[in-house]
Homo-oligomer: A and B are copies of this chain.
Amino acid sequence: MEMDTAIKRLSAIAQDARLEVFRLLVKAGPDGMAAGEIARNLSVAANTLSAQLLVLSNAGLIRARREGRSIIYAIQYDAMRDLLVFLTEDCCGGRAEMCAPLATIAARCCSTSEGAAHEAPARSRRRR
């Protein structure tokens, strides 16, 4: 990934309203949410939100699709994944101080069933 792209994405989420939008859309999943719905959730003006959605879109972190009168925004998982990969590149200059925690993140995510209220099918994954 190019530095330019990474910076674009980082600055996109380095702002309170946009970080909230981002997190909201991460939670919302692939189905996404309409712009108006997002605005209501975060109590931010429609036109302000529009500008912020554009920043996130231009960074490639979210994607818009029209559905009737609404425009639905949804997270782009690949973009986020690429950014995380970029940030952790060369993290092992010989040592594992950073890598070890990464494994923890992966393990915590989707395996700890703390938030598994929505019964994920969970194709048997080997533990630990």
Measured CB to CB, the residues of A under 8 A from B are 3, 6-7, 10-11, 13-16, 19-20, 23, 26-30, 75, 77-78, 80-81, 84-85, 87-106, 108-110, 115, 118, 120-121
Nearest-neighbour CB distance to chain B for A27, whole angstroms, equals 5
**Contact between A97 and B77, CB atoms less than 8 A apart:** yes
Contacting pair A27 B80 (CB below 8 A): no
State the main secondary structure of chain A at its contact with B: helix
CA distance A37 to B43 in the complex (A): 47
Count of this chain's copies in the oligomeric assembly: 2
Which of B6, B94, B103, B108 touches A118 (beta carbons < 8 Å)? B94
Partner of A10, one of B19, B90, B115: B19
Q: How far is the CA of A23 from the CA of B23 in the complex (A)?
A: 25
Partner of A19, one of B3, B95, B120: B3
Determine the distance from Cα of A20 to Cα of B11 in the docked complex, in whole angstroms. 15
